[in-house]
Amino acid sequence: MTATDNGREMAQIAALAADAKGGDDIVALDVSEPLPLVDIFLLVTGRNERNVAAIADEVEEKLLEHGHKRVRREGRQESRWILLDFGDLVVHVFHEEERVYYGLERLWKDCPVVPIELPTPAHAAD
């Protein structure tokens, strides 16, 4: 089983939103095989609590604008690890320290990476 087109589309929308707010190290993992109720985990790192909150808010806003309903949100108060559950897509927005500590990439290392397209930074084009 692989991630649905809907899950892939949601991941792309969320990745662009996270990137627009300065999200770093954006990775999408196809977790549909071990987790039958979820297609994709999107992992994003923020530089500080304010950045983590801004990234999560932007991701949520953009997915809602595209007609995707949020099932639940956790961690907004502390803004160290915010989880946004949209059914087919679960977005994890981490503070740098939490991302390293919890190491979800290590935990889900057998899951394939889902390609996402992000704009090329202006300084990378030089």
The pLDDT averaged over each successive group of 10 residues in the chain (126 residues) is 90 98 97 92 97 97 97 93 97 96 92 92 52
- DSSP-based helix, strand, coil % in the chain, nearest 5: 40, 25, 40
Residue 16 CB contacts under 8 Å (≥ 6 apart), including other chains: 62, 118, 119
Euclidean distance between CA atoms 9 and 24, whole angstroms = 20
Which CATH number fits the domain that encloses residue 21? 3.30.460.10
Domain assignment of residue 69, given as a range: 5-117
Answer yes or no: is 123 within a domain: no
Q: What is the pLDDT, as a whole number, of residue 113?
A: 96
Overall number of domains in the chain: 1
Q: What is the pTM of this model?
A: 0.92
Answer yes or no: is 37 within a domain: yes
Q: What is the pLDDT, as a whole number, of residue 71?
A: 95
Q: What is the pLDDT, as a whole number, of residue 36?
A: 83
